[in-house]
Structure 1
Amino acid sequence: MTSNRATSAGLPNVLLTHGLLIVFVILAIGPILTVIMNSFKTTQGIFTGPFVPPTAETFNLQGYENVFKRGEFFLNYQNSLIVTIATTLLVIVLATAAAWALTEYKVRIAPLLAGFFIIGIMLPIRLGTVPILKTMISWGIIDTLLALILVYTAMTLPLAVALMMTYFRSVPTELKEAARIDGAGEFRTLGIAVPIVRPGIAAVASITMLPVWNDLWFPLILAPSRENQTVTLGVQQFVGQFQSDYPALLAALTLGAVPLILLFTVFSRQFIQGLSAGYGK
């Protein structure tokens, strides 16, 4: 009887919570769906019924045709893929090695180095745009994808190292000691520990890919030429050039947003589980 009363009393709270979540989902997804839906319409269809799905009279792919004729989205996608994949791999390898060293080797300088990584999380890298630009010019790699890869790696590495350190601390000491007693070297011992910290690696990959793909600042500063433009920069310049062509404008915005939505959809579980588990350790 008491259990039924408690359930009845908690039902309004559950309904209220789910109702608020549904409202927030609509507010978050609604504008995205509206842009995607209107990208398949004629200009007249966009203005006469912006919230109405495309019909036989309003459906039109001319916007996407104009985008691929006037823009260079295939090249932009290729550049974004190269930068994102290369940065993610570099961050995973470097963060894993650095976190392993900082947690395993009890040297005096280890806490100081860990502190530097924590400071790197708090300081926004965009404050150093001018020194970064001068460095890339002096190295002769300005307006190249390599410049973007190096900057994004440095930008993401502090958080990745801090996150991986929490996971390596959870690896049982007995496992590592048993591996060393059996004659395993440091690389072999690290290889034994890596499967245990796979959720952390997935979280690192997630927090690296999403900001890198979506960034506009550094592509605009370090790689502005047409052959090195990323998707975000290509969309931004296309929007500036064809503001009166609304179907093409919405099609360009859709092409820029869809990959980011897919990335977040695929890796959202790893992102949330990895971060929550890492910070909870």
Structure 2
Amino acid sequence: MSKAASSLPRTIGAHAVLLTYTAIALFPVIVIVVNSFKSRNAIFRSPLSLPTSETFDLIGYTTVMAQGDFFLYFQNSLIVTVASLFFVLLFGAMAAFALSEYRFKGNTMMGLYLALGIMIPIRLGTVAILQLMVASGLVNTLTALILVYTAQGLPLAVFILSEFMKQVSDDLKNAGRIDGLSEYRIFFRLVLPLVRPAMATVAVFTMIPIWNDLWFPLILAPSEATKTVTLGAQVFIGQFVTNWNAVLAALSLAILPVLILYFFFSRQLIRGITSGAVK
């Protein structure tokens, strides 16, 4: 039996596992989207059934469009998420390259110090962060959210990327230095393409908490001009009465951009998993 034929069952098995996990993960999303097109009574009576001619209702979407500027909220969330991911991946990869490539006194301690951010929640410093933003004049700005989310995502990025960069061949990097490449070109042209699956992993695990976060938008940027989608959806969640049609419609609209970003980054992640399964 040829090598390609023997690896075929493993390839099929890897894809089957990925499809199973994808179906499980997407089931709650499908339920939310389906119920967003149904009347309030149908949501509670038959939450798992598809909309029919009697239960189909767009009242949730009309309420969302009429209440607040949700297109602005989407824009704010997208700007904050994309900008934060860019800085997390850039600075995290640069720090990871320095820690993995250069041996210096305190290298291990520096790595442990950066890894502490994974174990200590950034929300513990909310008061100090708020005071810092007030002193800097950054309250009610998207810049404040981008700075906080960048600091929040860097520890995990450095921890993951440094382990992958240690596996990059030293011969390849030394060959680049012999050819006259600078350290920056070695980093961007040789190292980053080889750790692309790891960067996709960091992006996936960093993106979801940023998009879904309610705490820091509520504390640092609660104004109408800087509201995010998650904060804007809270308008429909009251103390006594909750407009479930509007909540589900807002969540359905909020899911679409993050799914696009997820599939964009997860392609590299899935490619790395499936390629490793057939070696």
TM-score range, shorter chain: 0.7 to 0.9
Structure having the larger proportion of residues in helix: 1
Residues 38 and 192 of structure 1: CA distance in aligned 2, closer, same or farther (over 3 Å): closer
- TM alignment of 1:123-272, pairs within 5 A: 123-190=120-187, 191-240=189-238, 243=241, 245-268=243-266, 270-271=268-269
Identity of aligned residues (%): 49
- 1:92 pairs with 2:89: yes
Deviates more, 1:90-99 or 1:183-192: 183-192
Residues 30 and 173 of structure 1: CA distance in aligned 2, closer, same or farther (over 3 Å): closer
Deviates more, 1:186-195 or 1:138-147: 186-195
Give the C-alpha shift of residue 179 in structure 1.
1.3
Give the C-alpha shift of residue 255 in structure 1.
2.2
Q: Deviations over 1:218-277 (max 9, x none)?
A: 111111111101111111223238945442232123223344444445544545777999
Normalising by structure 1, we get a TM-score of: 0.81
- TM alignment of 1:109-120, pairs within 5 A: 109-120=106-117
Partner of 1:6: none
Q: Deviations over 1:63-98 (max 9, x none)?
A: 201110113210110000100010011111101111
How far apart, CA to CA, are the structure 2 residues paired with 1:105 and 1:201? 20
Contact 1:91 1:156 in 2 (8 A): yes
Partner of 1:5: none
How far apart, CA to CA, are the structure 2 residues paired with 1:119 and 1:246? 40
Q: Which runs of 5+ in 1 are unaligned?
A: 1-17
Deviates more, 1:89-98 or 1:187-196: 187-196
Q: Which amino acid aligns with 1:75?
A: L
- In structure 2, the residue corresponding to 1:74 is in which secondary structure? helix
Give the C-alpha shift of residue 31 in structure 1.
4.4
Contact 1:202 1:274 in 2 (8 A): no
- The match for 2:105 among 84, 108, 130 is 108
What is the alpha-carbon root mean square deviation over aligned residues?
Answer: 2.9
Contact 2:32 2:252 in 1 (8 A): yes
- In structure 1, the residue corresponding to 2:172 is in which secondary structure? helix
Contact 1:77 1:231 in 2 (8 A): yes
From the CA coordinates, give the structure whose radius of gyration is larger.
Answer: 1
Deviates more, 1:146-155 or 1:249-258: 249-258
Residues 274 and 233 of structure 1: CA distance in aligned 2, closer, same or farther (over 3 Å): farther
Q: Deviations over 1:194-226 (max 9, x none)?
A: 211111221222222111111111111111111
Count matched residues. Answer: 258
Contact 2:138 2:144 in 1 (8 A): yes
Stretches of 4+ aligned residues off by more than 6 angstroms: 21-24, 272-277
Contact 2:77 2:228 in 1 (8 A): yes
How far apart, CA to CA, are the structure 2 residues paired with 1:265 and 1:110? 35
Contact 1:148 1:223 in 2 (8 A): yes
